[in-house]
Amino acid sequence: MSKQTEFTFDQPTTDADLLRSLLKRADKVLIKKLSNNDRNWARKKLDAEGNPVPGGKTMNNQAGPYIPAETRKSDFFLPLQLLERTDGKSDEIWHREISTVWPQNEGERRTSNLRWYTSKNTETHLTGLPKSVFKDLLPASFFIMGRLTGNDGYIYECLTIDSGSEEVQLLATLFDIRADFVAGMFEPATVQAEERERVLDFADQVIAAWLAGTIEDFEANSASMPKTLELAQMAQAAFLKTHGLEKIDPFALDSPGDVLREISRSIEWELFKEFQRRERSVQLVRAVLGDKPRKFTPSDMMRALLDEFPRIDTILLSAAQQRKSRAGYSYEHHIEAMLTGGSIPFQKQVIIEAKKRPDFILPSLKFMNSGTDKASTGLILSAKTTLRERWKQVEREMGGHRRLFLTTVDENIAGNAIEDMASFGVHLVIPESLKESKLSEYKGYSNVLGFGEFCEINVRPNLASWNK
């Protein structure tokens, strides 16, 4: 068990602060990507006009998120106890009361309840939770339970991380969470140790270069971040090698949208993290120690750290910004590779009107404006890794008569936003696995297509006329 823990939330803190604090104190952490049902129990049911139904009814009766069966079977919780039934039914119910604390809800403490109905499913209901920290979450948000030891045994500190927040990127970085992640248990100390080992493996090379007086050349040759296009091509090459393919042809793939997601959100993400780890490590060494080898006393080292703190802070902030800015341009490169792989004609970043420069026009602006019978088959394809409110910028590219398709690998788009897009004639093109996923809200909307559907319905029938 971990050491005794006191809980105080007197000062306002950000979700990032709360997350870092929890990871320092918890011996084990459960992280779960919330399904729609895991959120809807806290959301009010609406009528046809979008107003809350009288009586405060919620969208389902689940009363809290499910806890994975693997977690129930592990030692994360104390063993569940058999509940004595008085209703005459024979199906077993196992339960355990647990103490939970909610720093995002003013540090509220609750007695929550784990309950496993053996007749229903293998997962366990977690009830007795504050609705306030769940009700406004976007799809595919995260629930985190950190196990700590208090005066009366285990206490579980709980957080929610909205999938549209900046903190979700921090969570993904800290725990190496990939796009297909659903749930997992972690030991923060082990995760930190593994990251430290990855850094130390590279540190020997950095130290050797610094002692040799060649660290500047070492950074240029071995620790510089590739340009966005180069990194995208590296990810594509890795995918092709793994699957024994020569090109990324959407017509030859079962689920081309899922392939786009795998390349951009998994393969390239891993490459990016390794390059960034190397790049920032060398930058920090050069900032503190300089480029020329010399002897340092402990006093010298302390003074160098203090003197260069603003520069160190800038390097770390730059790393966070770099993670945000690279994704959009990278996704465009993967779309381009897929269009090229399928021999689909296109123009990229063409100015169609003042301040209107869509990512792709299929097959070309000249064809779309030709006035022929086939001109209407042309379309605009915009690529956004994350949408939020940015889809409204894309809507302006339609120009009143052009067909607009918006492709994304973002799983956190709320249903009302999808409806808004439909009202403007915007079609969403997404990974196939997200269309029916219980983690997203794409299911059931006529303006949502898998990438394969998009290619078969809107591209393949027109290739002959486009290629003329």
How big is the chain by its Cα radius of gyration, in Å?
Answer: 26
Please tell me whether residues 363 and 322 are part of one structural domain: no
Please tell me whether residues 300 and 401 are part of one structural domain: no
Domain-located, residue 197: yes
SS3 292: coil
Please tell me whether residues 48 and 182 are part of one structural domain: yes
Please tell me whether residues 323 and 353 are part of one structural domain: no
The dihedrals phi and psi of 178, each to the nearest 5 degrees, come to -100, 175
- If the chain, 468 residues long, is cut into consecutive pieces of 10 residues, what is the mean pLDDT of each piece? 44 81 94 95 71 62 89 94 84 93 94 91 89 94 93 91 90 88 94 81 84 90 88 96 96 96 92 87 84 85 80 71 65 95 94 79 92 92 76 61 88 90 91 94 94 97 92
Domain-located, residue 336: no
Number of folded domains that form the chain? 3
Spatial separation of the C-alpha atoms in residues 223 and 215, rounded to whole Å: 10
H-only helix segments in 342-396: 365-368, 391-395
Asked if residue 238 lies in contact with residue 294, where contact means CB atoms within 8 angstroms, the answer is: no
Please tell me whether residues 197 and 320 are part of one structural domain: yes
Please tell me whether residues 286 and 356 are part of one structural domain: no
Domain-located, residue 168: yes
167-175 vs 15-25: helix crossing angle, rounded to 10: 30
Domain-located, residue 379: yes
Please tell me whether residues 64 and 142 are part of one structural domain: yes
The last residue of one of the domains, among 295, 328, 361, is 328
Please tell me whether residues 79 and 102 are part of one structural domain: yes
The last residue of one of the domains, among 153, 171, 186, is 186
Amino acid letter at 142?
A: F
Residue 144 sits at the vertex; the CA angle it makes with 141 and 148, to the nearest 5 degrees, is 170
56 contact partners, CB below 8 Å, separation of at least 6: 44
Please tell me whether residues 266 and 377 are part of one structural domain: no
Strand ranges inside 15-152, DSSP E: 28-33, 66-67, 81-82, 93-102, 108-117, 124-127, 142-150
Report the CATH number at residue 390.
3.40.91.80
The last residue of one of the domains, among 169, 186, 203, is 186
Domain-located, residue 3: no
Please tell me whether residues 170 and 27 are part of one structural domain: yes
Please tell me whether residues 53 and 77 are part of one structural domain: yes
Domain-located, residue 341: no
**Structural domain of 389:** 347-467
Domain-located, residue 424: yes
Domain-located, residue 4: no
Cβ neighbours, 10 Å, residue 232: 25
239 contact partners, CB below 8 Å, separation of at least 6: 245, 248, 259, 262, 263, 267
Spatial separation of the C-alpha atoms in residues 117 and 126, rounded to whole Å: 12
pLDDT at 354: 64
Please tell me whether residues 173 and 258 are part of one structural domain: no
pLDDT at 131: 93
Is the Cα torsion angle 118, 120, 122, 127 positive or negative in sign? negative
- Residues 415-451: b if buried by 16+ CB within 10 A, e if exposed: eebbeebeeeebbbbbbbbbbebebbbbeebebbbbb
Report the CATH number at residue 174.
2.40.330.30
